[in-house]
Structures are given as C-alpha cells and as structure tokens.
Structure 1
Amino acid sequence: MDKLVSELPKVASSHDVSFGEAFSTFARIGVLSFGGPTAQIALMHKIIVEEKKWLDEQHYLNALSFCMLLPGPEAMQLATYVGWRFHGLKGGLAGGLLFVLPGAAVVLALSIIYAYFGNVPLVDALFLGIKAAVLVIVVEALLRISRRALKLPEHWLIAAASFVSIFFLAAPFPLIVFAAALLGYIRTHGQAQLHPIPVGASETAKTIAVWLVVWFAPLLAIVGIFGCDHVLSHLSAFFSKLAMVTFGGAYAVLAYMAQDVVTRYGWLDTGAMMDGLGLAETTPGPLILVTEFVGFLSAFRHGGEPVLLQGLLGAFVALWATFAPCFLWIFAGAPYIAWITHQPRLRGALTCITAAVVGVILNLAIWFALHVFFRDVALHHAGPLQLWTPSLSSVDWRVVGLSALSAYLLLGRQWSIAMTLALTSAGALALHAI
C-alpha cells in the first residue's frame, strides 16, 4: 500500500491525513451534501482535491469512473473509497456512514411527520428555498465536471449522444455505460503497464464473503422473526434486488421502484412516492434515501402494531439493503483501481464512461430544473421519442427569484453552500409568512 501511495504525485499519504481529520472532513461533507450526486461529487472535489489536496485530479476522476460502474449511489461510494484509501476499513466505514447518516436522520424525522400529519405547509416552504439553491448547485457542478471530463472532441460527442439517448430515447443507464466503455476500450491503444495489485485473490474472496454475510444476515433475521409473508420480509427482498440494479442513482431507478411499490405491492400511492423523492431531494445525502421513506411508510401502514416500531424497522431494512452492498463493492474492488488505470484500454473505457456520465448529469439537471420551476410537467411520447414539457402557466416565480438569488450568492459572490442554503430557506419561510 505504501508503495502505491508513493507512486501518486501530489497526493497526501495516509501518514499525512490523521483519522480525526478525515472523520471531521467526512462529517462536514455529510452535512453539506445537498443536491444529489452532481452537487455532491462537486462538493467532494472542492474539499478533497482543491482544499485538502488528498487526491490529485486524475486519481479522483479514476475513482469516480470506477464508482460509476457500480450499482448504488456513486457519491457515497466515492466517499467510502477516499476513506478506505487513507485508513483502510475504518476509514471507508467512516467515509460512507458519515455521508449517509445525516441525511438518513433527516429523512426519518420527515417520514415520521409525513406518516402522522401528511404534508406540512411550513416544511414545504422550507423545502422550496432549499430546492431553489440546490438547482444552482447542480448547474455549477455540471459545469465543473464538464470542464474536467470533456477534453477531446470525441468526449463532447459521447456526452451529447449520452444525453440524447437518455433524455429523448429513455435508454437504460447501464446500456449507456456499457456502450461508452466498449467504445473507449476499442478506440484506445497502447501497451499495458505492469502494476502491483495490493491484495491477492484469496483476500478479495474473503472480503466478498464477509460482506455478503453482513448484507444478508440482518435481513434473514427479519424474515425469520416476522415470516415470509410479512411486509418487512417483502421489503428485505425488494430492496436487496433493487441494490443490484440501481445504476444511475435514484432517478434512473425511480420508475422501476414506483411501478412495484405502487402497482405490484400497493404499499404507497403515486403521490406519496413523489413526496418521498421530494424529501430525499431536499435533504443531505444520496437521493436513493428515498428508499428509507418508502420502507418506513410501507411498514408503518401495512406492518401492523405498533405502527411506529414497524415503520422504524421498515426504514432500517431499506437503509441496510440499500447501503450495505455499497461497502461490499468498494472494499472488494477499490484495491484494483490503480491497476485498472495502468491498463490503457481499461483507462480509455473509464474516460469514455466519465464523458457519458456528463450527458446523464445534464439530463438529471434539466429534469430537476423542470420540476423545480414548474408545478405541472408532462411526459409526451411519439414513437420511440419522449419529451418532458412544462405548463408555462404553472411557473413558480418564488422559486425563480430564489434561484436567481442563489446564483448571485454562489456564482457571483462565492458564498458557501451552507450560507446560501440558510439564506434561501429563510427567504422561502418569509414568503410563506407573507
């Protein structure tokens, strides 16, 4: 490990980054990680690469490209990798858990309020200000990532093709990743370099076995206690399956999840599903925390008495089944990232994946902007084509004004994300009071 660290120029070594410093930094990231993967990746880049200089630009992008290949929230997995990079298992756990737990605590509290009281106007007003600022954060992050990832004309073409494929053709995210990786692999030439892998195959197999037990043991215990027909058992199976296909984050998997949760199982209605996504969008942490809302509300409504305990168990099942696999992917695969980057064809594949992801992020940014600025947005189909179209009369001028204020503070005055969120939230509450 030390040899690998020494070969990375301008990168801090594990001896330079104390666990206390890493812990406090990941706690800061976890609290400020609003805005979904785009903003979160940009936030981590600003702190880890620009401020702390723990990783150089190329190493950060290599790790990000690797995480894009994995199912699950890539921003959380990137935080886990950075922690593992400097402090092994405990560092990876700190990075991943601190990225998830602040948002999970907020989503749980809001889920309880929602379950007992439904929508609360004051909370809706607070979310309005947060959404306005988050939209600007997403746009700023898109610009930053584009500048880093789109260095050649072919990268721009890949990003454009990726955007058209997902926005207008609804192409599956895994298919886009596979096509970009294949293109990069075929087009790249060069001699592979010998590079040591810091772990053996037996150690990797052991890591996989241990984390498979960690993943499934609590869920199997739930099934054993409540029986196979209980809603908690169904949630355990459902979210474990979901963890295997969540390429592209919460938006990419939302339609699949909503179809089963609403139509197949009848746990929630469509309105509650969208409310859950709104909660996840406006809290720190990965957007896939919407699964916690679904797990809590499903068990709260269908798990029996006591309803609060059932809801808490449902939230636990959703969180465990969603995030335990992420640690498996990173702890088993992270030691191979440096080796991958020394293989020209594999490095070319990762580079093209990163370019394709820019197009996917642009799709997410536009989708988010439409649903933030307009109250009514419809999806129209014409053969294989699809198009989101807003009702112009449904524009919310409050959000437009708050977003303009956020743009001025973040882009013009270079305010911090925390200060901007605080001011726009206060502004939204003032508008609500008026």
Structure 2
Amino acid sequence: MAEGAPGPGAAPGDSGDDGGDEGAPRAPVRAEGAHQPEYAERTASWPGLLGVFLKLGVVAFGGPVAHIAMMDKEVVERRRWVHRQHFLDVMAATNLLPGPNSTQMTMHIGYVQRGTAGVWAAGSAFILPAALITFALTWLYVELRDLPAMDAVFYGVQPVVIAVIATAMVRLAPTAASEWRTRGVFAGALALGLLGVNELVVLALGALAGVVLYRWRPWQRRPRRGVNGMVITPLAPWLATTPTPTAAPDLVWQLAWLFAKFGVTLFGSGYLLVAYLQTDIVDRFGLLTTEQLIEAIVIGEMTPGPLFTVSTAVGYMVGDVPGAVVATVAIFFPSFFLAMLLGRWMPAIKRSEVASAVLKGLTAAVLGVMLAVAVEIGMRVIVDVPTGALALAALAALVWTRVSAILLIPIGGLLGYLWITFVA
C-alpha cells in the first residue's frame, strides 16, 4: 500500500458512518500492510519512512521533547502511521529502557510499520544526519581550537552550558520528586553522587528504592506474574553493574567498551550522559579535561537530533575518526535491540505495576546524579564573578523566557570574547 493511502475500511470521503446507531463505537482502522496493523491506520512506503526520519534528523533541534512533538505531527497527525494512543503509550514505556528516548520512538515507529528492518531503517535515518553534522563541527572545532580567541569564547560558553544542564533539572524536578518518597530517593542519590559513589550503583539503588517504597507490602501475599520478570529483564543492566576496566590495550577498543556501557545503562534524560562522561572519560581515565567535555557538549547542543551525538564529538577528540565512529556506533547500537524488545513486550509493560515503581525510583535517582555532577562541573567552570553572573543570567533566561539554548550559547561565547579581549 502506498504511503498516505487510506487503510482498509477508510475509503476516500468515508466518514465512518455506516448507517448504524449514532454514537456506536467503531473499531480502529487497521493498516493491514503494516507489521503491527492494530497500531496503525496507514502503511508507510520505504522511501516515505526513510524520508521522514532523515528530515527529522536534520531539523529536529531542541531536545527529546521537541523531537517527540515533531514526530507526533509528522507520523501521527499527517501520515497516521501510528495511532495516537499507542504513540503515547510507547512514549511512556521508553522511559523504562536505557538509551535515548526520542531515538527509540523513531525505532518503534519503524517496528510498527516494517518490523525489525523498520527499526534499523528508521533509527539509522534519524541518527546518521545528526552524527555527520556533529562530526563536521567537531573537526572544525579541533582545527580552530588553538586560536587565542577560542579560549575567550569558551570562557563565556561554559557557564551557559552549566545553566542549560541546570534548566533540564528544574523542568524534570516536579515529576521526579513529586512527593515524599521520590524526594527521599532524590536526596539520597544526590548525597551518594556528591560522595563519589559510582553512578550505576546509585541508579540501581534508586530502582530498588522505587520497588520497596511503592510495591513492598510484606503483610500481603501477591501472586507472581510473568510480566514482572519481563519488565525487570531490560532493567538488568542497571541492577547488575559491572566494573570498568582500568586499562585497555587499544584506545579505540576502550572507547567502544565505555560507550557500549553507556548505551545499556543510561536511563532518563540525555543529560545523564554528562555524568557518565565526567566520571569515566574525565575523572577515571583522564582522556579529556572537564573544559574539553563541556566544549563537546556545546557541539552536541548546537546540532540537531539526539543529544547522544555528543559521543561523536567526544570520540573524535579522544581517538580521531576511528574514535568518533566507534563511540557513536557503540552508544546507539543497544537501542536498536531494546526497541525491538519494546515492540514485542509493550502490552505487558503497560500493565506492570512493578515497572511503574521502578520508573519512579529511577527517575528520582537520575535527577540526583545529574545534580551532583552539575555541582562538580560548576565548581570547575564558575571560577569568578563574571562566569557566575553569566551562569545565573542564562539560567534565568532559560527558565522564565522562551529563548533557546541554541541562541544563548553563541551569545555567551560573544560575551566571553568581549570580556577577555577588552575588559579583563
């Protein structure tokens, strides 16, 4: 069936009124050519599927919320490739899986339409443009980094990036710490993060705390349900952390191991990747400085697509072209398989009370880890009154106005250049 063609039972101009009782419920229209026809009204052609996600990979600025809003307009409203209720259900369920949520949404839409091949096609089409743009900007940055003006520019950019990270936490806080139990998990995660406890351990404890606080009723005997095991399976990477190797015979293989670990354990906001990179790439192995990491984040913020393409910039800075390729592939690769699991387990996950409890604990723990790392990075970046004032001004602008980070970052760079060149 061609892209945009009405599904069976939806002839052009047909309002759906078959002359029966007015107001009688109607079964959803099924796209019989799709892999999961019960979730779609129309069937996508291969060129249509690839074209939509290639376009989104080029123009989707603004983070996962903006990405998902664009997807809703393109694939739900305009093309009807996914029923809106299923789109919303998947959006909630992706929060239970590690990896970039908006990218996994593209993969799941591909699964609904074309099965396993659709997962790989849609996900790759969304990731590739952003990764290539990030690679080009990183190459340009490395070529120009030794210019004296670059230090002045990043003097102003770095406080703005701290404000961007802080803004993400301000927006997540009402959901992540909405009542006393989640606030307790958040406070505990923050304390452990400031004490230097490994972030994977903190997330695992957050998941456990969610189950204990929301599901543990020792006075009640509950029947065991297979669905709970199905939910815990994709969460196993958080609950069974593995040690990071202290050395690797080859830098590229070390990058592959680290970014694959990030890909299977990174839950929640893409900004949690900052915590992982700071802990492993900067503090544990010394492959970059905090300042270089922030510069990589800047490049990721100024490019479209998933924030996880920061891995492309970090990989290039550490290991040149091979490092960029390996880091990008390693961090995104697990998401393809997780998206396929989500497609198959979606009904069971939606019904699981354990999944809901785990999600509440993990979300609060993520926010605590993010804040702990933001404090650590902020102490290294905000070194004087001008950087402190710029960070506060950027935070106020992001919280109380509609200005975007993409605009504030170059403004910060300009102010930093002017201050260092003409005032300091």
Task: Classify the TM-score, shorter chain.
Answer: 0.5 to 0.7
The answer (yes or no) to whether the contact 1:410–1:416 under 8 Å persists in 2 is yes
CA distance, structure 1, for counterparts of residue 292 and residue 312 of structure 2 = 9
SS in structure 1 opposite 2:403? coil
Q: Mapping of 1:12-411 within 5 angstroms?
A: 20-29=51-60, 32=61, 40-41=63-64, 44=67, 59-67=90-98, 74=99, 77-87=100-110, 88-89=118-119, 90-114=121-145, 119-167=146-194, 169-186=195-212, 187-188=214-215, 234-246=250-262, 247-248=265-266, 249-258=273-282, 273-284=289-300, 285-286=307-308, 287-289=310-312, 291-296=314-319, 311-333=320-342, 335-374=344-383, 395=384, 397-411=385-399
User: Residue type matched to 2:207 in 1?
Assistant: A
Shift, 1:113, TM fit: 4.2
Shift, 1:83, TM fit: 0.9
Shift, 1:50, TM fit: 11
CA distance, structure 2, for counterparts of residue 372 and residue 428 of structure 1 = 13
CA distance, structure 1, for counterparts of residue 92 and residue 209 of structure 2 = 18
SS in structure 1 opposite 2:162? helix
User: Residue type matched to 2:91 in 1?
Assistant: Y
The answer (yes or no) to whether the contact 1:65–1:354 under 8 Å persists in 2 is no
Write the deviation string for residues 252-311 of structure 1: whole angstroms up to 9, x where unpaired: 35444457755xxxxx6xxx5445313212211434445413443xxxxxxxxxxxxxx4
Write the deviation string for residues 208-245 of structure 1: whole angstroms up to 9, x where unpaired: xxxxxxxxxxxxxxxxxxxxxxxx98234222322343
CA distance, structure 1, for counterparts of residue 38 and residue 252 of structure 2 = 39
- For the pair 1:426 / 2:375, whether they are aligned, the reply is no
User: Residue type matched to 1:278 in 2?
Assistant: I
Which entry has the higher C-alpha Rg, 1 or 2? 2
Shift, 1:57, TM fit: 7.0
The answer (yes or no) to whether the contact 1:193–1:342 under 8 Å persists in 2 is no
Write the deviation string for residues 57-76 of structure 1: whole angstroms up to 9, x where unpaired: 77534313312xxxxxx3xx
CA distance, structure 1, for counterparts of residue 104 and residue 90 of structure 2 = 11
User: Residue type matched to 1:178 in 2?
Assistant: A
Write the deviation string for residues 381-427 of structure 1: whole angstroms up to 9, x where unpaired: xxxxxxxxxxxxxx1x3323333442443333322333333433333
Write the deviation string for residues 181-213 of structure 1: whole angstroms up to 9, x where unpaired: 223334427889999xxxxxxxx9xxxxxxxxx
SS in structure 2 opposite 1:414? coil
CA distance, structure 1, for counterparts of residue 407 and residue 333 of structure 2 = 33
Compared with structure 1, are the counterparts of its residues 258 and 364 closer, same or farther at alpha carbon in structure 2 (3 Å cutoff)? closer
CA distance, structure 2, for counterparts of residue 318 and residue 105 of structure 1 = 15
SS in structure 2 opposite 1:245? helix
Compared with structure 1, are the counterparts of its residues 155 and 404 closer, same or farther at alpha carbon in structure 2 (3 Å cutoff)? closer
User: Residue type matched to 2:325 in 1?
Assistant: F
User: Residue type matched to 2:360 in 1?
Assistant: T
CA distance, structure 2, for counterparts of residue 327 and residue 312 of structure 1 = 23
CA distance, structure 2, for counterparts of residue 79 and residue 398 of structure 1 = 36
CA distance, structure 2, for counterparts of residue 251 and residue 146 of structure 1 = 17
Shift, 1:337, TM fit: 4.7
Instruction: Give unpaired runs (5+ residues) of structure 2.
Output: 1-34, 78-83, 111-117, 217-221, 228-233, 235-247, 267-272, 301-306
Shift, 1:44, TM fit: 4.6
User: Residue type matched to 1:340 in 2?
Assistant: I
What TM-score do you get using the length of structure 2 for normalisation?
A: 0.64
Compared with structure 1, are the counterparts of its residues 424 and 291 closer, same or farther at alpha carbon in structure 2 (3 Å cutoff)? closer
Instruction: Give unpaired runs (5+ residues) of structure 1.
Output: 7-11, 34-39, 68-73, 196-203, 205-231, 263-267, 297-310, 375-394
Shift, 1:159, TM fit: 1.0
Compared with structure 1, are the counterparts of its residues 428 and 412 closer, same or farther at alpha carbon in structure 2 (3 Å cutoff)? same
SS in structure 2 opposite 1:283? helix
CA distance, structure 1, for counterparts of residue 42 and residue 386 of structure 2 = 47
CA distance, structure 1, for counterparts of residue 313 and residue 334 of structure 2 = 17
Compared with structure 1, are the counterparts of its residues 400 and 13 closer, same or farther at alpha carbon in structure 2 (3 Å cutoff)? farther
Compared with structure 1, are the counterparts of its residues 320 and 332 closer, same or farther at alpha carbon in structure 2 (3 Å cutoff)? same
What TM-score do you get using the length of structure 1 for normalisation?
A: 0.63
CA distance, structure 1, for counterparts of residue 161 and residue 283 of structure 2 = 27
Shift, 1:41, TM fit: 4.7
CA distance, structure 1, for counterparts of residue 323 and residue 49 of structure 2 = 36
CA distance, structure 1, for counterparts of residue 368 and residue 353 of structure 2 = 23
